[in-house]
Structure 1
Amino acid sequence: MKTAHLKKWVALATIYLLDFTFIFAQGGFQLTHFTDEDGLPQNSVKFIISDNAGFIWLSTEDGLVRFDGYQFTTFSKNDLHNSSNRMQAFYRFKHELFCYSADYEPIKIEDGHASITNKPSGWLEQQIDLNVLPKGIFKNNFQDGARYLSDGSINMNYGKKAQFKELYILSQQDSLFRYDNKQFSVFYKSKLIHTFPYTTKADWRFFMLNHKLFSLENSGRVSALSPKIIKTRLKGDILQSTSFKAKKTDIKVLWNICVDNHVILYMDKSFYLATLDTTDHITTKMLFKGFDAAVENICSAYYNKQSGQLFLGSSTKGLFVLKPHLFQTITAQYGENIYGPQIEYQPNKILTTGNRSFDFSALPKISISHGANTPLDFISLAKDHPTGNFWAVRRRWLYLISAKDLHKIAQWQMPISINAIYQDKLDTLWIGTINGNLYTKSPTDTTVHHYIKFPDRITFILRAGPYDLYVGTLKGLFQVNLLSKTSHTIANLESASVRNIFKSSSNEIWVATYGDGFYLLKQSKAIALPLDREQYLRTPHYFIEDDQGFLWIPTNKGLFQVAKSDLLSYVNNINRHNEPPFYFYYDKESGFKTNEFNGGFEPTATQTSNKIWSLSSMNGLVLFNPDKMAPLLPTSGLYLDNIIIDSQQVDRKDLTALSEDFSQLRISVCTPFLGNHKNLQITYALIENGSKDTIFYPLEDKGKITLSRLTYGKYTLIVKKEMALAWIILVL
């Protein structure tokens, strides 16, 4: 992908990077549950963190586990050459990440790899420079019976107050807090700075936030702990909880010791992101609701701000990942939820299939009602611009419907069933029938007049200029000259089944077909655009355009977002070497109830006055605001995982060991990506020295490349990743 186009995508993702609680009902999520059946070595996930490259790391009872968003890789004692597979907590020291085994062995994590370090006994205490720590507390799994070193672990069913006489809390700023149920002692680089009294009847719910120590009481009151104890209350979304209002709170603190800029609060099966504002008050924001952390024995948590995903480790049930819904799908309680044409008949009110009216004026609340007088099975709608009313079609009948109370104002009967209607900017109504006849009705005439005949059913009508009318049919796209009243077919679309014709804000004409992909009209010829890797774009339904320069294309297999500039660049360079556009893909994980959108009618989608788009699908109306979407892009690096030559592993950091004579070479690459893996596009090319042709092939099989029995010569292997400008180049 060209750098200019990459910048457009990254800029879009950056604008709304942290906005994962949209204007709709908060808390909706996609739940994914991983166990030992999915690649975990076992089901105790005790601690979770991410490394500098973006990989997620899990501490388990049977190894250190890396998660790239798709698959798990376990680093056992056989890989690390240490003595124990039982892993403990993660710690950061001077921007370096370490995990400790049960035998007190520091394991360094960097760039997606783990390696045992040759650190002497007591190295951790030396790193922190805190001689006040009880001797051996690290070696004894962070506790010695009476004293406890806080590691950020969580227990949903009880606190730690009754278990220990002393609590030690580490800060990433070389500080240590010691609590003995009566007072706090604060140390900095082994020196006692000050002490202050503090008692609490609650379970120990201490946590660090922005290098400051806090305590959460049962009442929901928060204390900032320093020589002067400052009591305050939580702010934000958690105040809306009925339990919090009734002071029947049992708030759990999901504190990750390696994360200092936020904590997660849990109450009433809901998770809240807690951050410190500029006035040192803790503000909460609802993330997810409807997950029972106590039932699932949750003991560890990590919130990834970039993706908006919450990773929850269970002491017995593996890993749970909660992903935010980017779209909201609404369905009616009764009747079919297959939706067809829809129109905004009043501000923020949509009328659609089954005579249902949806009111979006009081979001996030959405109300549903039924119109009393409109036809129940209309197949096409069009706004009547002069009056503000709208046209509706039911078989052979054309109706004018009042936008005020949805009653029928007037009606016309056609000789045969109508399939498409369209009102142009001059207020002329165009009517297409199932046998290819095109009719017109002017705003000043009560009569419908025949205009021209086409060879098959009319599917779509669009006026593109003063004298140009495009008419789509089941067998071809036609351009009509309104002066001469003649038509001709568009080259390359002579037999296409036209689904939709769209004129963009920059006046390009885009055409969606059923089964043949989509096209751009240029100089009276249709130019085919490349399809996505799975070829889902072979059946596009229609186009919508947002204010950021992107087209959105619903299909039978999900929804695509593509930069219009990418498409135009491809068309303008079609006769030269040209990279295909990057299609960003959304499916049910993003909040749809089905991947199958609906089309073949008009309007297929409607934008309300408050900027919400409503898309018709085969199971509900899909709502979203494209200008507030934050696509999770695969922009992280590409890493060489391992190299195996004829069954012998080669040090990935020492490529001088590559033999000039081998029968088989196996190379594995890895990259972290927490989004939909259909958006992860990694390709590779093997180029023989002197060759002018470079053909890149999709990298499948979980990042593995196998080369066997190459003819003698010099080769260059290139692995590249779209959207990341990341490359791996090996000379063989």
Structure 2
Amino acid sequence: MNYFWVLLCFVFFSPLYAQPDEYYEKWYDADNSKLPQNSIMSIVKDKYGFLWLSTQDGIVRFDGNNFLVHDIGIPSVENRTLMIDGCAEDDWLFTFYNSGGIPSLITNRGYSVITDPKSPVFKDLMLRGNGNLWKLNRWVPRDSAGIKLFYFISKNKSYYLDYNKLFYQDHEKRRYVGTFDDRLFYRYFLLGDQLFYLKDGSSVEKIDQNGQVKQYKTGLKVAKNFDYFINIPNKQLLLRNDDKIYLIGYYNNQITTDLIYNGKTIRNLDIFKMYYDESTKTLCVGTFSKGLLVIRKKFIYPHITPDKSIFHSLTNNGLGRVLTSEGDMFDINGYIKTVSSPGTDKYGIVPLDNPGEFLLKGEHALFLRFGPKTKMIRDFTNNSSIYCISNTFGSKVWLSLLYKDRNLLGYVLIKDRKVAKEVFFNTKIGIKGIAKINDEEVLLAANEGLFIFNEKKRKFNTLISGTSFRSINNNGDEFFWVQSYGKGLYLYKEGKVYKPRHQKKILSSVHSVIDDKRGFYWLSSNHGLFQVRKQDLINSYLNGNHNFYIHKYTRRDGLLTSEFNGGANNNGVFNNGYVIFPSMNGMVYIDTKKAFPLLPAEDFFIDRIAINEKEKTVSGILNLERNFGYLKIFVDFVNFGNQRNNYIDYKIDDHGWQPLPDNRIININALTKGKHDIQVRKLKNFSSRYNYKTLNIYVRPAFWETDAFKISMAILVLLTFYLIYTLRLKQAEREAIILNEKIDERTAELNETIDSLSKTREELYAQLSRKKKLVAAISHDIRSPMNFINISTGILLDSLDDSVYEKRVISSIKESSAQILDFIDSTIRYNKIFVYDNYKSRENIVLRDFMTQRTGLFLNAAEFKFIQIQNNINAEDTVVSNPDVLSIVIHNILDNAVKYTNNGFIYIYSIKDECRFHLVIEDTGIGMSEQELCKINDTESFNSQQLGMKIIRELLPLIDVTFNIESKKEQGTKITLSFTI
């Protein structure tokens, strides 16, 4: 009685937790997918891997992602089809509409309705397939005379049943096999090239070509809910026995019965047809009214505890068993128990040399677990924080910690369940991951980078700085996988670090890389679970192979989450054929011995296109019109698994590769004339190589782009040019005549002009001669008397006393006559300048002496008007100019300054800059208004009072001198002459 109560308490009070389902199941129906109708009459896999479904509303091709529906396209015929028949291996499948009256053919992934009764295909299908309707109907009685059926070994070989007589047919030759009474025609089936008959669920009969019958046992005990499903095109027999589905096979002359499904989903289903894909372990179930059910056995098993689903660090604990740092124990069947470990954390556990002993880390201490017990063996006090411990099996365990504000790296040696020795070294970094390379070196991952520490030399060596690393794992070989924070997976091998070269973002947050000893790596990460061929991943680092196949697993494969955990000393292990990872929802066991990833087909097809939504199949070159409109290229391939595992790209001509859209359609709305290549490549499964295919397109040129049009246009242009040239030539001839007449007329006018100019030249020469004589006359007839006056006044001055008033008068007469002589000389020089062109000569002029000489002529007049003339020019200042022209200019400026100044000053000074020399003559006279300045600057409005300025303006350009006048009324005038240095 006590045992009863104990058992009752155990049943009611023990914690219960659900184990994950063993199968992945997915429904496809008319409501949630593009399946046209929910009654599935046939399920057949063709030669290329596509599933073909016959429904009561058309034929459907399924590639794992899209349903391609084919309608009969005949308004008067119902779109209901019969069973799909034929031979899938020979790419020859067919079915019928109109209860067997209209055949349709499935070949080369395409579908066509054969409506021409005279065509050979129509006749052939009607001859060999008119029993299609009978195969669909199991309720036909045994004595159905007249039924003729084919069971196709291949397109040209088959067994032929004529009521109860069986024949073997090879092409057109037919050989009698035997007569078989009391057998139902719909129980015949093929396995390979052998014909069998299903007697009941427990036995089958093999009928050879000679009519010999051999019975085999299936090993099944037929249940009440028993059914069978024959698939002639795929040569399969599936048996349903209650909730189990069995696949019947024939190998080595023996019948095999394999359990492929055991679940309650099919218990109440009305199943019409089945197909089992052995390569992917996928069962396809066609129902009477619920659509298509796809079932696949899982090989990934997540396990949880009654009260926990998140796990971190783990280590092996016997065959198929793992132990977490928090004391949770699992095996391949699930959760076992939890051993409490107070003080430990969830990020560090490592097995020691003695079986059953483990070292665990806590925040401030190290713990030893042996059996059900856990004890502290080293306390670093509350002033410490243990970062991590190493993950290598053995009693020498490396660790890093913060101890009294110092970062330390060291190891402890465990012996007799206590710390026998400990050694620590100061570091400048906080180490997050430690992996033993050899007896002297350890590899260190830290926030500051990746380092190597040599224990013997006590030396740190920096491998990479500036990148944050978190953990390291190794599979007992020379490859150390270093996990970073979002910067990808790094590889350390024999003293060298390899950065991630591939552009796979899905590998940016890997936690662990585990070798399954079968040629594959399994990778856990924040983004999911991945499988990759081991050598491909290694080659991507060592040889720079950027692109390689990475298979991603999802919840459809058995996962409860796509987020795995990292940051511990052990983030994954391999144990007895299982790869085991901790995740955010379960301890994930992966049975690598039974792993059968659902891979996409490596082959693909680009022969189906649509032009303006009209589909067709192309072979060879696709010819398009110049204005073809809108082109769709369908890239057909099979993938019944994760569509994110489709690594397929395309490019148009020499443009760059682009990923294929999710709908698998390349859209093109414009192409230039000529040849174009549409290239498509698909990455092979678990490989770094591609399959390539090319669709050649030729776009016909528009009429204006054809050679004939171009030649015609060239001829037209040439004719136009010739016509224009001819007309222009005639016009030129006419214009030439007119031009010659005008030339003659103008020549006569020019001759008259030349005669007139000759006369004018003679007159000018005469005038010049008279001007020369005038200058000479002035020089002699005017200057001589004035000179006599000047000399006579000088003699008179010598004979008079200084006190006599007359002497002052005579002195004024002498000075005036001297000024008149100087004016005459200036006038003569002015005229000689233009008469004899002697203004072109240049010489060095000492400017101070030159100005002293010029101002001497005005001293008496200045004294008379109480004017002081100040010559402030430096003695060394010189200019290169014509002294005659410059003398006239200076004379006129001084004359105006004396004339318009009373009781004032005349300043003469110079200014130099980088490339100019400026002579400035400034007076304090009456000055000029703005209107007077405007008149002086206006060369067309000179009056007689401005004659001096006109002379200055005419002479200065001859000696390359510019001048500027500044004046204000009642403030004086400033004239600046600028010479080029």
Total equivalences in the alignment? 650
Unaligned runs of 5+ in 1: 1-24, 143-148, 154-158, 689-693
Equivalent residue in structure 2 for 1:255, among 209, 214, 230: 230
Corresponding position of 1:629? 595
1:519/1:529 contact within 8 Å kept: no
Which residue of structure 1 lines up, in the alignment, with residue 299 of structure 2? Answer: 326
Would you say the 8 A contact 1:27–1:287 is kept in 2?
Answer: no
- The residue correspondences of 1:350-361 to structure 2 (distance < 5 A) are 350-352=322-324, 354-360=326-332
Match of 2:65 in 1: 70
Equivalent in the alignment of 1:305:
278
CA distance in 2, matches of 1:354, 1:164: 72
Q: Secondary structure at the match of 1:88?
A: coil
Q: Does residue 495 of structure 1 match 2:495? A: no
Considering only CA atoms, is the larger Rg found in Structure 1 or Structure 2?
2
Offset at residue 701 of structure 1 (A): 3.7
Secondary structure in 2 matching 1:87: coil
What is the CA-CA distance between 1:714 and the residue it aligns to? 5.0
Name 2:37's counterpart in structure 1. Answer: 42
Per-residue CA deviations over 1:444-497 (Å, capped at 9, x if unaligned) read 6535443233434x3210122343322222443222232343334432x5232x
User: What CA deviation, in whole Å up to 9, does each residue of 1:90-126 have, x standing for no partner?
Assistant: 1115652112223532222223211233664898997
Report Cα offsets for 1:298-335 as digits up to 9, x if no partner. 21111122222111112211111112213222233x11
Question: Among 272, 281, 285, which residue is 2:246 paired with?
Answer: 272
CA 1:434 to 1:43, structure 2 compared with 1: closer, same or farther past 3 Å? farther
The answer to whether 1:600 aligns with 2:573 is no
**Correspondence 1:361-380 to 2 at 5 A:** 368-371=336-339, 377-380=345-348
User: Which of 395, 409, 427 is equivalent to 1:438?
Assistant: 409
> CA shift at 1:165, angstroms?
4.9
- Higher RCO (Cα < 8 Å, 6 or more apart): 1
Secondary structure in structure 2 of the residue aligned to 1:512:
strand
Q: Please, which moves more after superposition, 168-177 or 308-317?
A: 168-177
| Contact in 2 for aligned 1:56/1:68 (Cα 8 Å) | yes
Residue of structure 1 aligned with 2:352, choices 384, 389, 396: 384
Query: 1:352-409 CA deviation, whole Å, 9 max, x = no partner?
Result: 265332245xxxx55613336676754311111256621112332311222xx23236
Q: 1:422 and 2:383 equivalent?
A: no
Aligned residue for 2:491?
520
Cα–Cα, structure 1 residues 271 and 27, in superposed 2: closer, same or farther, change >3 Å? Answer: farther
| C-alpha distance 581-122 of structure 1, shift in aligned 2 (>3 A) | closer
Where 2:560 maps in the other structure, the secondary structure is coil
Q: Secondary structure at the match of 1:613?
A: strand
Aligned to 2:809: none
Contact 1:28 1:288 in 2 (8 A): no
Letter in 1 for 2:310: I
Structure 2 counterparts to residues 22-421 of structure 1, below 5 A:
28-36=22-30, 37-78=32-73, 83-92=77-86, 96-102=92-98, 104-117=101-114, 120=117, 127=124, 138=131, 142=133, 149-151=134-136, 160=139, 165=144, 170-172=150-152, 173-177=157-161, 184-189=164-169, 193-198=177-182, 207-210=189-192, 211-217=194-200, 220-224=202-206, 230-235=214-219, 244=221, 248-260=223-235, 262-280=236-254, 282-293=255-266, 295-332=268-305, 334-352=306-324, 354-360=326-332, 368-371=336-339, 377-385=345-353, 389-402=357-370, 405-408=371-374, 411-415=377-381, 416-421=384-389
Query: Aligned in 2, Cα 1:663/1:92: closer, same or farther, shift over 3 Å?
Result: closer
Distance 1:234 1:122 in 2: 45
The match for 1:564 is 534
Q: In structure 2, what is the Cα distance between the partners aligned to 1:472 and 1:717?
A: 47
CA contact (8 A) 1:82 1:116 kept: no
Contact 1:374/1:406 (8 A) holds in 2: no
Aligned residue for 1:566, secondary structure, equals helix
Aligned equivalent of 2:550, options 559, 583, 594? 583
1:286 CA drift (Å)? 1.5
Name the residue aligned to 1:687. 653
CA spacing shift, 1:438–1:115, aligned 2, 3 Å = same
Change (3 A) 1:649 1:129: closer
Q: 1:641 to 1:510 in 2, by over 3 A?
A: same
Matched residues in 2 for 1:304 and 1:272: separation?
13
**What amino acid is aligned across from residue 683 of structure 2 in structure 1?**
E
- Closer, same or farther in 2 for the Cα pair 1:193/1:430, shift >3 Å? closer
Q: Distance in 2 between matches of 1:193 and 1:525?
A: 72
Q: 1:249 to 1:57 in 2, by over 3 A?
A: same
What SS is found at the alignment partner of 2:536? helix
Shift of the 348–374 alpha-carbon distance from structure 1 to 2, 3 Å rule, reads: farther
Mapped partners of 1:710, 1:130: distance in 2: 47
Question: In 2, distance between residues paired with 1:176 and 1:712?
Answer: 55
Secondary structure of residue in 1 paired with 2:248 = strand
Q: What secondary structure is seen at the aligned counterpart in 2 of 1:39?
A: coil
Would the aligned equivalents of 1:309 and 1:324 in 2 still touch at CA under 8 Å?
yes
Aligned to 1:41, what secondary structure does the other structure show? Answer: coil
Specify the SS of the correspondent of 2:535: helix
Cα pair 1:42 1:62 within 8 Å, conserved: yes
Identity %: 24
User: What SS does the aligned partner of 2:512 have?
Assistant: coil
CA distance in 2, matches of 1:277, 1:483: 63
Aligned to 1:461: 434
* Amino acid across the alignment from 2:28: F
Kept in 2: contact 1:512–1:542 (CA 8 A): yes
The amino acid across from 1:160 in the alignment is W
TM-score (norm 2): 0.60
SS at 1:460 equivalent:
strand
Distance between the aligned counterparts of 1:556 and 1:520, measured in 2?
19
> SS state of the match for residue 85, structure 1?
coil
Q: Which residue of 2 aligns with 1:11?
A: none
Output the CA distance in 2 between the equivalents of 1:590 and 1:223.
38
Identify if the C-alpha distance between structure 1 residues 439 and 316 changes in structure 2 by more than 3 Å, giving closer, same or farther. same
Letter in structure 2 aligned against 1:209? L
SS in 1 for 2:537: helix
| 1:49, distance to aligned residue in structure 2 (A) | 0.6
3-state secondary structure, aligned to 1:150 = helix
CA distance in 2: counterparts of 1:406 and 1:655, whole angstroms? 75
SS in 2 for 1:358: strand
Match of 1:594, SS state, is coil
Deviation of residue 649 (structure 1)?
5.2
Task: Give me the whole-angstrom Cα distance separating, in 1, the residues matched to 2:199 and 2:207.
Answer: 11
From the two aligned structures, give the one with the greater helix fraction: 2
Taking a change above 3 Å as real, the CA distance of residues 663 and 197 of structure 1, as seen in their structure-2 partners, is: closer
- Structure 2: how far apart are the matches of 1:489 and 1:651? 61
Following superposition, the deviation at residue 697 of structure 1 comes to 0.9
Deviations 1:514-570 (A, max 9, x none): 3221122366544123243xx332211111113233322111222112233323433
